[in-house]
Amino acid sequence: MSLLRIKKAADKIRSDSKVLVVIGIGRSYLGARAVIEFLKSEFHNEKASKDGSTEVYFLGTSASGRYIDDVIDLIGDRDFSVNVISKSGTTTEPAIAFRIFKDLIEKKYGKEEASKRIYVTTDAHKGALLNVAKENGYERFVVPDGIGGRYSVLSAVGLLPIAAAGIDISALLEGAKDAQDEFAKDEDILNKPSILYAIYRNILYRKGFDVETIVGYEPQFRYLFEWWKQLMAESEGKDNKGIYPTSAIFSTDLHSIGQFIQDGKKILFETILDIDKPISKRVVPAADDNTDNLDYLLDRPLKEVNEAALTATAQAHTSAGVPNILLKLDNLDEFNLGSLIYFFEAAVAVSGYLNAINPFNQPGVEVYKTNYVQDSWQTWI
Ligand code: PA5
């Protein structure tokens, strides 16, 4: 993988495009969206449109015409580029989205200029998308062989859109490398956090806790959790085994599924992700009077209020028989996120082997895909 070429392509996109449309499904978009929203917030695009930097929209994750219409409306007459990502090159939903956007971009810029605005990330040797890219002279990046898609966020699959969003991909990779070095260094497996996490979740699984809910108290964790769910589900859910991965954002979801967690059937345990260093300095402000009875929180940082919610909730849930695992990240930045990505990837690999399954294949995903291809799709309408 040429990091330099990824950075150059991202710089070009940032200089000539107000919008990058990323087309892909599953592995081909989850990692990039997770990293962008985790580091930049779920309002990344709204903020980018205010400061003139590049917005990133993800398409091809469904066959929804309405979603495509909305993104086309949002782009309006602004300059845009496309990064289409598919290893097979035959996945129906992204293939349709790419057909639509190839036509749009060619109509807007002409074929030649359009070919400089389309970036293809696909298999190095085969596939329909590779052929289209070669025929049209699009810049190409490789979805590496031998790395299950859900483990590919730190390859060109994730790195090009992430860099186009203005994120320091070198720091992200350094964080992952640091975690990998730590993992390789110590001989005592009980000093390796990812192995401990794998062991704890497997002990709980064997005690009958079949569901793991990953929980965070910041809305910008949402897509990291979506990525985590794919990583866990595709790695472990096979041979009629596996922990079912779900996610929740608290306090929001405490007011919905919180009821089930507290009082419902005891099938789940929670893994809480928390960040030590505050990511906002906002405090509870003074008011003209104390009719809302909130003065007991006067001048307290919202970070503290959120931490109190975390601790109070953990106490309530554990006392009701819901086991909690707490994961602490030092800071919300590229380096720490890179380490966290490595941590989860190592943990699920170990966890899969503890369950005697292969954590690197995903035969189940292919069943619907082969049902839905050219020769058979009409069966379903
Ligand atoms: O992990 C998987 O195998 C799937 O989620 C794929 O990522 C998804 O189906 C996209 O496949 P492709 O990159 O071949 O279009």
Distance CA 317, CA 111 (A): 58
Torsion of CA 375, 376, 378, 380, to 10 degrees: -170
Q: Give residue-wise pLDDT tens across range 255-308.
A: 999 999 999 999 999 999 999 999 999 999 999 999 999 999 999 999 999 999
Q: Give me the interface pTM, i.e. the ipTM.
A: 0.95
Task: Give the mutation target among 83, 92, 123, 365 for probing the ligand 1 site: most ligand atoms within 8 A of CB.
Answer: 365
90 CA to middle of ligand 1, Å?
Answer: 10
Alpha helices, DSSP H only, in 245-362?
Answer: 258-263, 302-319, 334-354
In this prediction, residue 377 carries a pLDDT of: 63
Q: Which helix (H) or strand (E) covers residue 81, if one does?
A: strand 80-86
Q: Distance from the CA of 203 to the center of ligand 1, in angstroms? A: 31
Percent of the chain with pLDDT over 90: 88
Beta bridge partners of 59: 23
Q: What is the pLDDT of residue 147?
A: 85
Q: What does pTM read for this prediction?
A: 0.94
pLDDT, tens digit, 9 for 90 and up, residues 130-180: 999 999 999 999 998 888 789 999 999 999 999 999 999 999 999 999 999
Tell the burial category of 290 from Cβ atoms under 10 Å away from its Cβ (0-12, 13-18, 19+): exposed
List, for residues 115-140, the tens digit of each pLDDT value.
999 999 999 999 999 999 999 999 99
At residue 372's C-alpha, the angle toward residues 132 and 28, to 5°, is 50
Alpha carbon distance 352, 190 (integer Å): 18
Report the alpha-carbon distance of residue 183 to residue 235 in Å, rounded: 20
User: Which ranges of the chain would DSSP assign to H, the alpha helix?
Assistant: 3-16, 30-40, 44-51, 65-75, 92-115, 128-136, 156-164, 169-185, 193-206, 222-236, 258-263, 302-319, 334-354, 363-371
| Residue of 61, 91, 130 to mutate, ligand 1, most atoms within 8 A of C-beta | 91
CA–CA gap between residue 120 and residue 89 (Å, rounded):
10
- Rounded to an integer, the average pLDDT of 215-223 is 97
pLDDT score of 4 = 96
- In the prediction, which pLDDT does 190 show? 86
Q: Tell me the per-residue pLDDT of 76-110, one tens digit each, with 9 for 90 and over.
A: 999 999 999 999 888 999 999 999 999 999 999 99
Which pLDDT band holds residue 35 (cuts at 50, 70, 90)? Answer: very high
One-letter amino acid identity for 218?
E
The sheet with strand 118-122 has its strands ordered as 55-59, 19-23, 80-86, 118-122, 139-142
pLDDT at 380: 66
